[in-house]
Homo-oligomer: A and B are copies of this chain.
Amino acid sequence: MSNVTISDVAKKVGVSESTVSRFLSGFKVRNADVINQAIKDLDYRPNIVARNLKSGKTGLIAVVVPDITNPFFASIVRGAEVAAGDEFMIQLINTGDDLDKESWALRRMVGRVDGMIYVPLQENSSAVDELDNRSLPMVFVDRVIEKNKNLDSVLADNFRGGELAARHLVEHGHSRIAHIGGPISSTPGKARARGFVETLRALKVDLPSQFVVESDFTTLGGYQATMALLALKSRPTALFVANNLMTIGALKALKEKGISVPQEMAIIGFDDHELSDLVDPPLTVISRDAHLQGALAMQTLLEKIRGGNQFPPKQLKVDVNLVVRGSCGSTCRYRNSKTSEFPKTLSASSRSK
């Protein structure tokens, strides 16, 4: 047990507790070296909890994500941790798409952490109301809550992602393009769909209403949505899928139905993966730097924590970009398939909104 307290050290040296405390805080103290020695001898370690009680800080930042096994969220968490440096450590919460768990967790965070990085489940949620109004510094990542959208956030340029995808498919000659989207109640689900739909409209490409399917960001959802699209009397010839997991589901459905990509169906996903260029055919995707998103969120949060609420909230966006591989056809002819993508240079810029 770390039973040895500051008072033991003080007693051993023959000074008061306050002197030891001051020594620990870096003040000049008369018997510095003998105190130091005593600390080593006794293997004294300050009780963090007591220190926290006095200071009112915990040294913890909550990172609340839907599911850490989604590589995209894992990257966010990693980025956040790296940016946190030595001062703060990460408390991880998976909400698992469960609204009850989400609000339970949020309520619990008050007083346990100094700040929160938060990927909410739904835009119309009132989960944040659980928190006392100004008590917990918070930054949204990837998604926001509608009624709190004036708070700090670090999103991706989802609208532009949808636009890039639509444009890319149209440029490849497609005119029957479907979209498997995330929940319309989530920030990226909505924005990606909007970018897609509005771009097609601007390009005068007809978009039957059955071609826009709202799904749920899961593999199963993507699979089912694809199956539904394939069951239509007149199928689409191309597919824009709004996240990584649904894209996997879509690919499984296409494979199961024996539909060749990109000949019978072109497909473009959202969010890159190390395996994306190894699937058959290599997957064209819209990508963005999730690590950077996490890091920016942490940075923003730390500014808030350190600076009080003196700065106005800021809404950041990271760029998206198109990674062309083979799954949309044609370009794979021009592409040197022997070009290794390894090692990959990670460089995504960010810009203020």
- A residues sitting closer than 8 Å to B (CB atoms) are 1-2, 43, 45-50, 52-53, 58-60, 63, 67-69, 71, 74-75, 77-78, 81, 89-94, 108, 110-112, 132, 134-135, 219-220, 223, 245, 248-249, 251-253, 255-258, 273-275, 277-281, 337-343
Contact = CB atoms under 8 A, between A and B. Distances in A.
Contact of A219 (B63, B94, B274): B274
B77 A342 contact: no
> Which 6 pairs of residues, A with B, have the shortest CB-CB distance?
A280-B280, A256-B340, A92-B92, A275-B275, A278-B279, A69-B74
14 contacts: A2-B132, A48-B111, A49-B53, A50-B53, A68-B68, A69-B74, A69-B75, A90-B93, A92-B92, A219-B342, A248-B278, A252-B341, A255-B340, A280-B280
Contacts of A252: 277-278, 340-342
Contacts of A220: 342-343
Contacts of A339: 256
Given A45-B111, A258-B338, 19 more contacts: A1-B134, A2-B135, A45-B110, A47-B111, A53-B53, A68-B68, A69-B75, A71-B71, A71-B74, A81-B94, A90-B92, A92-B92, A220-B343, A223-B340, A252-B277, A255-B278, A255-B340, A279-B279, A279-B280
Nearest to A4: B132
| Max count, chain B CB within 10 A of own CB: residue among A53, A253, A343 | A53
A319 B275 CA distance: 26
Contacts of A135: 1-2
A91 B94 contact: no
Nearest to A77: B68
A248 B274 contact: yes
Contact of A49 (B58, B93, B255): B58
Contacts of A60: 91
A17 to B, nearest CB: 16
A79 to B, nearest CB: 9
B94 A92 contact: no
A61 B313 CA distance: 33
A213 B69 CA distance: 30
Nearest to A245: B274
Nearest to A274: B248
Nearest to A342: B252
